[in-house]
Amino acid sequence: MVGPRHAGSVGAPDGGLPPVHSGWNNPAVPRDRDVDAFDRRAARYENGRIGRLHRDIADRTVDLALSCAPGARRVLDVGCGTGYLLRQIAQRLPDAVELAGVDAAPSMVEMARTRAPGDGRLRFSTGFAEKLPYSSGSFDLLVSTTSFDHWADQRAGLEECARVLAPGGHLVLTDLFSLWLVPTLVAGHRGRARTTARAGRLLTAAGFRSVRWHRIYTLILRAVSATT
């Protein structure tokens, strides 16, 4: 996951585009409980029934991403967790020169580094979607799997994704997007982009084009592909 949540991330109550906030990088903002929870789960994140579910979703996302960008040379995984998705991409893209992962949970990043198979192309860093630690235009493929819903400022995060992608680069993002989730937007998840319509508006506002939606897993897990 990438992007600690806090009260300042609440968006527009009318269902429009949530405003951009800068509180995510304020030292006075405490570490979010989401980050702490993922830190505690790092060692067992790929294990058991839930671990199999995460791997299955990641595998399907990899299939979609490589169908969109089969010749990708520089890949970034935002919310990389233990690095499973990037390890799969490393096997399937032998000509890729850089495979980078970023996550807000330090223990996830440490686990990803531990599990990297001695492949020098794989590099993992601690950071947030709202301020990615990479130069503009650095990647031609950016993936994110079940991380977007945890970003403190989804609009700012998507703008950062667009910034680090080269012109014509591809974004593939998998998360919770469904009309079944509309009731959750009334209270605890108010301001979240949990529907394709709301997420689509954020993607367009961030500068993405050719936005397409894909069924990935069950009725509420969808993937979106887009280009810069």
d(CA 50, CA 54) in angstroms, rounded, equals 6
- Between 192 and 4, residue with greater pLDDT: 192
Tell me if 91 is assigned to some domain: yes
Q: Given this model, what pLDDT does residue 48 score?
A: 80
Q: Tens of pLDDT along 176-185?
A: 886 556 556 5
Q: Tens of pLDDT along 144-164?
A: 999 998 898 999 999 999 999
- Which region among 49-53, 80-84, 126-130, 214-218 has the lowest average model confidence (pLDDT)? 49-53
Inter-residue contact 197 to 178 (CB < 8 Å): no
Q: Predicted confidence band at 29 (pLDDT cuts at 50, 70, 90)? A: very low
Tell me if 18 is assigned to some domain: no
Tell me if 172 is assigned to some domain: yes
> Phi and psi dihedrals of 216, rounded to 5?
-115, -50
Q: Given this model, what pLDDT does residue 70 score?
A: 97
- For the record, the structure tokens of 158 come out as 């998507």
Tell me if 2 is assigned to some domain: no
Mean pLDDT for all residues in the chain: 82
Whether 84 has a pLDDT exceeding 70, the answer reads yes
Task: Give every strand in the sheet of 209-217, ordered side by side.
Answer: 122-126, 98-103, 74-78, 139-145, 165-176, 221-227, 209-217
Q: Given this model, what pLDDT does residue 91 score?
A: 96
Could you tell me the CATH number of the domain that includes residue 179? 3.40.50.150
Q: Given this model, what pLDDT does residue 202 score?
A: 96
- Which region among 51-65, 141-155, 171-185 has the lowest average model confidence (pLDDT)? 171-185
Tell me if 30 is assigned to some domain: no
Q: What is the pTM of this model?
A: 0.80
Q: Given this model, what pLDDT does residue 26 score?
A: 32
Tell me if 4 is assigned to some domain: no
Q: Does the CA dihedral 174-175-176-179 come out positive or negative?
A: negative
- The number of CA neighbours under 13 Å toward the Cβ of 24 is 25
Q: Given this model, what pLDDT does residue 150 score?
A: 87
DSSP assignment string, 146-204: S-GGG-S-HHHHHHHHHHHEEEEEEEEEEEE--GGGGGGGTTTTTT---SHHHHHHHHH
Whether 23 has a pLDDT exceeding 50, the answer reads no
Range of the structural domain that residue 88 is part of? 39-227
Whether 123 has a pLDDT exceeding 70, the answer reads yes
Q: Tokens 């990899």 identify what position?
A: 62
d(CA 89, CA 101) in angstroms, rounded, equals 12
Whether 106 has a pLDDT exceeding 70, the answer reads yes
Instruction: Report helix, strand or coil for 44.
Output: helix
- Which region among 38-42, 52-56, 68-72 has the lowest average model confidence (pLDDT)? 38-42
Q: Given this model, what pLDDT does residue 86 score?
A: 98
Tell me if 145 is assigned to some domain: yes
Angle at 203 between CA 181 and CA 4, to 5 degrees: 65
Structural domains counted in the chain: 1
Tell me if 161 is assigned to some domain: yes
